Amino acid sequence: MTAPLVEMRNISISFGGVKAVDDVSVDLNGGEVVGLLGHNGAGKSTLIKILSGAYHASHGEIYIDGQKATIRSPRDARSYNIETIYQTLALADNLDASSNLFLGRELVTPLGFVNDDAMEAETRKIMARLNPNFKKFNVPVAALSGGQRQSVAIARAVYFNARILIMDEPTAALGPHETQMVAELIQQLKAQGIGIFLISHDIHDVMELCDRASVMKNGKLVGSVDVKDVTDDDLLGMIILGKKPAHLA
Amino acid sequence: MSATPTGSLTDTKRANLLQMLEIDTRLLGMIGAFLVISLGFDLLTEGRFLTPRNIFNLTIQTVSVAIMASGMVFIIVMRHIDLSVGALLATTSAVMAMTQTYILPDMLGLGLGNPLIAPITIVVGLIVGSIIGAFHGYLIGYLAIPSFIVTLGGLLVWRNVAWYLTDGQTIGPLDPIFQKFGGVNGTLGVSLSWGLAILGVLATAATLYAARRNKITHEAYVKPLWAEIALGALLSAIIIGFTAILNSYQIPVRRLQRMFERLGETMPEGFVAAYGLPISALVLLVVAIAMTLIARRTRLGRYIFATGGNPDAAELSGINTRLLTVKIFALMGLLTAISAVVASSRLANHSNDIGTLDELRVIAAAVIGGTALSGGIGTIHGAILGALIMQSLQSGMAMVGVDAPFQNIVVGSVLVLAVLIDIVYRRKTGEKI
């Protein structure tokens, strides 16, 4: 059997004596969507920020394709083709869509100057695929609607050939129509063999979009289950009670 | 955005036209304000404000603050502040004064008047300014001390380091080549000025053409050709007009006679010569172009604005915001040292109070020029225009004979008013405040 795309083994991290993530192991295969569930403060976002390079784990290791990976910064994570769509979107509101899309990875001219026109052209191409209604290329993203901002954040993650995609509450700020678009996008990316961690509050979303779900409570992993083996209520029980359902335990 | 009331039809039309031509309405407003101030003072002074002589003086008086204001834009865009620029100007000026009048000629034995003195002095000054700036940046970026505190401390420290270095004495006269950067002592004369103006016009045309061609190859939006040509014509008219005005400011006869006497010749009867473009204004021009390039066309600039707009997003995009802080403060130090060259050579000596209150003028210029203290927004040309507006107000009031206390009361009020107008403007256009 081939090694999983991502394996996070025995990850722990503390903030001022509080163990935000305590000895958690999760894994993800290519072409698979794994949902991360839990209450606010359960540690899902913290766990994922370790993978995306925003935090450093105090214990534990990360393996990518079975090889030990050293991720000390967002830049390192990007070099492993890990892309993240943050809940806050992490957009610089004063810059336009293409500047945000290429932030930290600007296209440059032979003289080393940033090539805004080329970046805008690339942005138009990817947007035509992701969100054909998107037209506001030359205004700061502050002037965009929630859905448009979300599509900029998604475009940024997708454009650079992500192999591992982290989506932190991607539909939290969206209307039903845009939520549907994100759902379709996830299916599409999955079909391309990309592995996706989907952090969500919404059990319904997870049941619909994910192959497996890992549930966290108080920084600890309650368990990882195949979504087809469980019901909504089973997942809810794991979140609230912190116990695996009886038929799987 | 749906809550914004829709304007009348003509309003929307006008907004569309401005958008189509990519004209910055805020810049337009500032230029308008500047014209009103200039014409107003010209009326009040019965035509003495808009003379070649006064425009020349305004130019050379604005340069020092304008150079520093361009650096302050980056600082404020990154959500920091630098209160130490006036004091740092004094320290770098003191270092350069000592270098050119004592260390190089006496200690190292180059002798007074050696042509190497000015270049070595300037290099020393720029290095000292950059190092001190980088040190501020290190304290702010890596040790996380608020920039307000670091530079408030810096204000006291560097003001008094300057005092200590020179024992509080005025040091001068400065090296004659060094003095060329000050203004009256260093101008290009008529033919060189015209040559440069023509070069400027050609460069403007080439830049506009290249930008348009690049846009077309990438199928990006281009404005109508007539608008592009009109913009080019307007910029060319400004360059040529400004040069023509400075070329018509003739050097006073008495001064010319002294210049000839110094060369051991007598002045021919009826000889006239004009100042032309001051070298200090060219220094500002080079700084302005370089800073605008950095802001708009380099990764450094992109990261400065991204960090100002959303520090967390910048960090998550892999931008090293700590190192970036060191870089912008080092750049501020470098620009402060350049300003020190201009300011001290304009006065022909280093005085102990040089640069006093410059930090406030510089911050005011940047803010009047549309730099938002909340970060992420600001332009170099805006800050320079802001410096020009401040200097015009100050000089104009002095010419009209407004009492000294009232001058500062007006300048202070204008600063607050300008920010208020900016806030109202941003609220109307739905921009971030």
Segment B359-400, tens digit of pLDDT: 999 999 999 998 988 889 999 999 999 999 999 999 999 999
Residue A89 in any domain: the answer is no
Residue A225 in any domain: the answer is yes
Element (H, E) at B147: helix B147-166
CA-CA-CA-CA torsion sign (B2, B7, B10, B12): negative
* Contact (CB<8Å) B298/A52: no
A172 vs A43: which has the higher pLDDT: A43
Q: Predicted confidence band at B415 (pLDDT cuts at 50, 70, 90)?
A: confident
Please state, in angstroms and rounded to a whole number, the distance separating the CA atoms of residues B39 and B41.
Answer: 6
Residue B306 tokens read as 């991204």
Q: Using CB atoms, which residue from B221, B297, B306 is nearest to A103?
A: B306
Nearest CA distance, A232 vs chain B (angstrom): 34
Range of the domain at A61: 6-81+161-241
Q: Predicted confidence band at B6 (pLDDT cuts at 50, 70, 90)?
A: very low
Specify the pLDDT at position B111.
Answer: 83
Nearest CA distance, B293 vs chain A (angstrom): 9
pLDDT per position as a tens digit, B291-338: 999 999 999 999 999 999 999 999 999 899 999 999 999 999 999 999
Q: Using CB atoms, which residue from B302, B312, B431 is nearest to A114?
A: B302
Residue in chain B lying closest to A119 (CA): B218
Residue A91 in any domain: the answer is no
* Contact (CB<8Å) B315/A88: no
β-strands A59-64, A67-69: how paired?
Answer: antiparallel
For residues B178 and B121, the answer to whether their CB atoms sit within 8 Å is: yes
Side-chain half-sphere CA neighbours of A92 within 13 A? 32
Q: Predicted confidence band at B10 (pLDDT cuts at 50, 70, 90)?
A: very low
Residue A94 in any domain: the answer is no
Identify all chain A residues contacting B1, using CB atoms and an 8 Å cutoff: 143, 145
Number of domains present in the structure of chain A = 1
Residue A122 in any domain: the answer is no
* Contact (CB<8Å) A106/B299: yes
Share of chain B above pLDDT 90, in %: 66
Interface of A with B in 34-63 (CB under 8 A): 52-54
* Contact (CB<8Å) A145/B1: yes
Residue A186 in any domain: the answer is yes
A79 CB within 8 Å of a chain B CB: no
Please state, in angstroms and rounded to a whole number, the distance separating the CA atoms of residues B430 and A91.
Answer: 18
CATH of the domain at A37: 3.40.50.300
Q: Using CB atoms, which residue from A89, A100, A113 is nearest to B298?
A: A113
Residue A112 in any domain: the answer is no
Residue in chain B lying closest to A156 (CA): B317
Mutate to test the interface with B, among A45, A79, A94, A159 (most CBs of B within 10 A): A94
